[in-house]
Structure 1
């Protein structure tokens, strides 16, 4: 599982091997290229094995025969050796599969990208000239289109990772939610962590407020979002209490605990349900709510508190 900023764009490529084609044709306005039926990852090892590309993609027809290829690299720093190894990667792909291969390089830092472009422009003697489609985070626009995010979640997630610190990131919230919702549960949890989890605190607070405006019901594979829903509903009820504000807040927190447990399918005996609803200790209810998000049994939620709450 990726643990660095270098690996995240590659993990998104594994999610959708056609991502470099989207970059070339839509973001960078590339020339017409042969049509393909599907894209598949190819072993990025280039023999001799001391050379290893970040990723290689083959675009194939319906019979799985490659019609073109792409070497996809993520480059965060200046490394003159790449000017030679990139040629080797492209040459390997073209030689092995007898296709034309492009070179797509994501360079998050515009200054680093300019350095590479200057180095390539100055190379007038090499017998193999580089012509990479090099792009930076600034070249990736915000993608607020929900339909596009649903159809191509990797594109929306990639765009979000390039704009996490932008003041306008909120316009992508519906598309980001749609992209996450299009993924399998385990992938959804991971990509939520590496996108939403990296938002600045103020933006993350706005994201959670946005979630509370979406349709009511259990709709998140990630229990933290169901908990946010529960808190929103419960605290809305608490604010609506004309009298007994403290009791209203406690009642709302208690209902949040039960809502999370019910949404996760955890059985709650009637006696325990009454005990939770009658609890007026906000701190204790907050503890129970945090436990409810992961507990397999209601006893795990209220453990250590056997007396009257």
Structure 2
């Protein structure tokens, strides 16, 4: 069964085809910036009972070097079968479209990324007929973006950075930066970013932090994820449930960030019945250096 991180790692290129231009820069590959990109069918099945599908396939147009095909594979773990299927993908696509083909493999851990980057050779020991060299993006070479201004310049790259660093401690800083960068972003741009990030984090601990960041201001995030959080609040019971849920969210954010929560702080939070005050405290809990700091008036 395909996992949600697997989907996010390649679907982000469908949503933002121009992202590959920035990724290629990060990876040190000199590829002309695209003038356009077209999503192509991913079915590589021949007229026989063997089905082969690449995760995402884009036709990239460039101004000077002409078009090429970008085949994107999301790889969550080592898979020996890929040493057979990846060369097939590239050969089939080159034969079908008559265009240069570049294979990009997106990973979320160093071990898989190192494995995916190994050249795949077909031929004899004395002479290799075909050698495939995948381009790999993963936690070993994707940037850790913690500057809000930098994140705003390229939300898609920041999202991919969060997804590929999902298992790294640095992902906390990336998520906070991405959330801050989205605050003044139109919903039509922010909503896909919110959903792709949640999808890419899967069931990892960082996914709950992302939910907490999204929950700080539900009036901003009107995506499926925020509706899901709203529904959870309704089940708990209208006004009382909303204040209780926010109080629990504040405590959860503080605890997950490793801050010490005294009994006095816990009691003040749980006893508060004002939703707006709790919302302010929740916003401050994301960046506070101590638990007591959330009560400071700014």
TM-score by length of structure 2 reads: 0.60
- Aligned-residue offset at 1:121: 6.6
| Shift in alpha-carbon separation, 1:11–1:171, aligned structure 2, 3 A | same
Q: After superposition, where does 1:135-174 map in structure 2 within 5 Å?
A: 135-172=137-174, 173-174=176-177
| Structure exhibiting the larger radius of gyration computed from Cα positions | 1
Q: Which residue of 1 aligns with 2:129?
A: 127
Matched residue of 1:129: which SS? strand
* C-alpha distance after superposition, 1:264-309 (max 9, x if no partner): xxxxxxxxxxxxxxxxxxxxxxxxxxxxxxxxxxxxxxxxxxxxxx
- Consecutive unaligned residues of structure 1, counting only runs of 5 or more, are 236-244, 258-309
Matched residue of 2:71: which SS? strand
Between the aligned partners of 1:119 and 1:136, the Cα distance in structure 2 is 17
Q: Is the Cα contact below 8 Å between 2:5 and 2:201 reproduced in 1?
A: no
Between the aligned partners of 1:167 and 1:254, the Cα distance in structure 2 is 31
Q: Is the Cα contact below 8 Å between 1:157 and 1:176 reproduced in 2?
A: no
| Shift in alpha-carbon separation, 1:137–1:100, aligned structure 2, 3 A | same
Q: Is the Cα contact below 8 Å between 1:71 and 1:101 reproduced in 2?
A: yes
Q: Which residue of 2 aligns with 1:29?
A: 28
* C-alpha distance after superposition, 1:249-272 (max 9, x if no partner): 33x248879xxxxxxxxxxxxxxx
Aligned residues: 235
Between the aligned partners of 1:83 and 1:100, the Cα distance in structure 2 is 20
Q: Which residue of 1 aligns with 2:84?
A: 84
Between the aligned partners of 1:202 and 1:7, the Cα distance in structure 2 is 15
* C-alpha distance after superposition, 1:228-262 (max 9, x if no partner): 9x969xx9xxxxxxxxx89x933x248879xxxxx
Farther-moved stretch of structure 1 (148-157 vs 51-60): 148-157
1:43 equivalent in alignment to 2:11: no
Matched residue of 1:140: which SS? coil
* C-alpha distance after superposition, 1:136-164 (max 9, x if no partner): 32322212343453343221111112334
| Shift in alpha-carbon separation, 1:179–1:197, aligned structure 2, 3 A | farther
* C-alpha distance after superposition, 1:165-213 (max 9, x if no partner): 544444331334425845527535524643688563798299649958x
Between the aligned partners of 1:209 and 1:190, the Cα distance in structure 2 is 10
Between the aligned partners of 2:207 and 2:60, the Cα distance in structure 1 is 41
- Consecutive unaligned residues of structure 2, counting only runs of 5 or more, are 231-241, 251-267, 280-298
- Aligned-residue offset at 1:37: 0.6
1:249 equivalent in alignment to 2:272: yes
